[in-house]
Structure 1
Amino acid sequence: MARLTISNVCKMFGSTYAVEDFSLDVEDGELVCLLGPSGSGKSTLLRMIGGFERPSGGAILIDAKDVTHLPPEKRPTGMVFQSHALWTHMNVFDNIAFGLKLRRLPRAEIREKVEGALALVGLAGFGKRMTQQLSGGQQQRVALARSLVLEPKILLLDEPFASLDQHLRERLREEVKDIQQRLGITTLFVTHGQDEALALADRIVVMRDGKSEQVAPPAEVYRNPQTQFVAGFIGLMNFVKTKVVSGSTVHPDFGLEVPIEDGEVVVAFRPDALSIKSPGRDGGPTVHRSIDFGTHRMIDIELADASRIKAMVPPTQKWDKNALVSLTVQDYFVFRDNRLAYQSNGTVTAHCNEKLAHA
């Protein structure tokens, strides 16, 4: 279908960068998710690719052709917005056919293409309905069909499921993934939902303050975060501030081996990498709360310094409030100044630093 090249693109609003020196290559048929919090620049970047915003600098190329300054209607892209952007005075058929009519295609060809697009998104037979008669999920399918019927080289999706309930979001994202794979269309999908990105993407671009923090396949972003920001944004993560002295952390509840230079660090580990046992020592970690999620329990644990971390345990394990526990950590990350400084492998017991505990 198409290859997208974004080269050193930036966008300024006044003196503020919304996107700064951003570069990315998206391969033919690839689905890339732009993931980040509100204000990270992901939607602005997508609008620049679609031609709805003009870059302040840099270049955007599709199949090696520079489209940086082309208007949206001159680009081989199709964009689906969060708000659906359907015309309420038109029925479903006319909404989807609008772009084809502007191209002055024959009536029979328009009908064939529209009916094919409706069938593709699971709305065969809905052509005569008005958009107000559709559910939110059906309206979003119409918006998707309206983009796909134009046969764009690149499909742009700007948080298309953000206004829908969780179950409908999950169903539609599976349908979109199936359609994208069936058509082999190069796709960029903007979202702030980590689950959506993990479920859909071939690669994830984690954005922060208009820049990319990490670009990698979902499994790598989750298992090998390169910055503290990425570690905290993808999945649940515990963070413990401490210091490294002579190759180990100096913390009342965590004495972990960290073979890096001395200094302040942040140790990070996921709730499922933390196991708890009893009994614990007096003055050590205690259970603050236990929450049953059906498939697992999440245990809030209060450390000696009054900070809290979470452990994920089987639903059959029950822990009483204020119970003293000992902790074991499997696989942890150590960050310094937001960058990954050390990553463990294997199981390491988070033993008590005796001198600190009794100081």
Structure 2
Amino acid sequence: MARLTIKEISKAFGASFAVRDFSLDVDDGELVCLLGPSGSGKSTLLRMIGGFERPSAGSILIDAKDVTTLAPEKRPTGMVFQSHALWTHMDVFNNIAFGLKIRRLPKPEIRQRVESALALVGLSNYGKRMTTQLSGGQQQRVALARSLVLEPKILLLDEPFASLDQHLRERLREEVRDIQQRLGITTLFVTHGQDEALALADRIVVMRDGGTEQIAPPDLIYREPKTEFVAGFIGSMNFVRVKIRNGIIEHPDFSLAVPVADGDLMLAFRPEALSLRPSKKSGAGIVHRSIDFGTHRIVDIDLADGTRLKVMTPPDVDWTRGSLVEPVANAYFAFRENKLVHRSAAAGELQTDRMLGHV
């Protein structure tokens, strides 16, 4: 379909930057998720790609053609907003047909393309309904159809499922991924939901303060976070601040050899990379609570230094509140000044099918 190239894009509002020196290449047919907390610049970046914001610097190219200064209607892009932005005085058919009418296409072609778009999003018999008669999920399907009917080269999705309940959100994201793969359309998807990014993306761009923390496929983002921020933002992660002396951690609960220079260090453990065993020693961890999720338990442990750990355990073993336990680290990441400086060999073998079970 199309290739998107973003070169050193910046957007300033007064003296502050929403996006600064951002660059990205999106391949033909690829789905890339822009993931980050509120205020990280991801929606501003998407609006610049769609032409709704003018960059302060940098350029945007689609199939090697510079579209940086083009108006939204002159770009080969289609954008789906979080708010749906449907016209309530029009029925579903005319909402979807609006852009085609602006292009002055023949009525038979408009009808054929609208009906095809409705079928694509599973709303074949909804053309005559008013948008106020639709559920939130159906309205979002209409918004998607309205973008797809224009046959854009680039599809832009700005947190389209944020207002929907969890089950509907999960179902719609699966449908969107199926449609995207079936059409082979190049897509950028903005979200602050890590589960959406992990489930949808070919690659994830983790954004922070208008810049990029890491760009990688979902499995690498989870297994090999390059910064402490990424490690804490993707999935559930335990952090323990320690000191290293002669390559050994000085911490009463973890006896690990970490081959890095002496000094302060932040250790990070996934809940599934920790295990528990009963303990009788003074200063051992104390079970705060144990939550049964059916497939596994999450046990909260309070350490003597005030740190609370989350540990994933088998569901058939309950841990009594107040009991003494010793956490055992089977894999870990080590960060210094937000940068990954070491990870244990086993850290790359964490099971991705358990990623979302402990959020």
TM-score class, shorter: over 0.9
Match of 2:242 in 1: 242
Q: Which runs of 5+ in 1 are unaligned?
A: 348-359
The aligned residue for residue 173 of structure 1 is 173
Moved more, 42-51 or 281-290: 281-290
Amino acid at match of 2:106: P
Query: Could you tell me which residue of structure 2 aligns to residue 184 of structure 1?
Result: 184
User: SS state of the match for residue 98, structure 1?
Assistant: helix
| Shift of residue 280, structure 1, vs aligned partner | 3.9
Q: Distance in 2 between matches of 1:261 and 1:288?
A: 34
Cα distance in 2 for partners of 1:268, 1:280 equals: 25
Cα deviations by residue, 1:141-178 (Å, 9 ceiling, x for unpaired): 00000000000000000000000000000000000000
- Structure 1 residues 273-317: Cα deviation after superposition (integer angstroms, max 9, x where no partner): 100011341221111111112221110101111211110111111
Structure 2 equivalent of residue 148 of structure 1: 148
Moved more, 218-227 or 300-309: 300-309
Alpha-carbon separation, structure 2, partners of 1:280 and 1:298: 22
User: What TM-score, normalized by structure 1, do the two folds share?
Assistant: 0.96
The aligned counterpart of 1:344 is 344
1:288 aligned onto 2:327: no
Aligned to 2:354: none
1:105 & 1:58 partners in 2: Cα distance?
35
Aligned to 1:299: 299
Partner SS for 1:108:
helix
Deviation at 1:229, TM superposition (A): 0.3
Taking the aligned partners of 1:294 and 1:184, their CA distance within structure 2 comes to 37
Question: Structure 2: how far apart are the matches of 1:254 and 1:146?
Answer: 56
**2:123 aligned partner:** 123
Q: How many residues align?
A: 347
Contact 1:90–1:130 (Cα < 8 Å) also in 2: yes
2:298 alignment partner, SS class:
strand
Q: Is the Cα contact below 8 Å between 2:254 and 2:329 reproduced in 1?
A: no
Give runs of aligned pairs for residues 1-359 of structure 1, distance below 5 A.
1-346=1-346
Distance in 2, matches of 1:106 and 1:93, equals 15
> Any idea what SS the aligned residue of 2:236 has?
coil
- Runs of 4+, deviation exceeding 3 Å: none
Paired residues of 1:27 and 1:186 also in contact (CA < 8 A): yes
| Cα distance per residue 1:224-260 (max 9 Å; x no partner) | 0000000000000000001111101111111211101
Supply the distance in 2 between the matched residues of 1:3 and 1:141 (Cα, whole angstroms).
25
Partner Cα distance (1:24, 1:346) in 2: 31
- For the Cα contact (< 8 Å) 2:299–2:313, is it kept in 1? yes
Structure 2: how far apart are the matches of 1:180 and 1:330?
38
The one-letter code of the counterpart of 1:226 is K
Alpha-carbon separation, structure 1, partners of 2:279 and 2:307? 20
Which AA in structure 1 matches 2:187?
Answer: T
Unaligned runs of 5+ in 2: 348-359
Q: Is 2:9–2:55's contact at 8 Å kept on the other side of the alignment?
A: yes
2:254–2:328 CA contact under 8 A, matched in 1: no
TM-score (norm 2): 0.96
SS of 1:53's equivalent in the other structure is coil
Paired AA for residue 90 in structure 2: M
What secondary structure is seen at the aligned counterpart in 2 of 1:346? Answer: helix
Give the percent of matched residue pairs that are identical in Structure 1 and Structure 2.
73
Shift of residue 272 of structure 1?
A: 0.6
Give the Cα separation in 2 of the matches to 1:101 and 1:248.
Answer: 70
CA distance in 2 between partners of 1:262 and 1:274 (Å):
24
CA distance in 1, matches of 2:164, 2:346: 41
Q: Secondary structure at the match of 1:276?
A: strand
User: Match of 2:345, SS?
Assistant: coil
> 1:330 touches 1:345 (CA, 8 Å); kept in 2?
no
Q: Structure 2: how far apart are the matches of 1:3 and 1:252? A: 53
Partners of 2:41 and 2:280 in 1: how far apart? 46
> How far, CA to CA, are the matches of 2:38 and 2:81 in structure 1?
16
Provide the C-alpha distance between the structure 1 equivalents of 2:84 and 2:191, rounded to a whole number of angstroms: 15
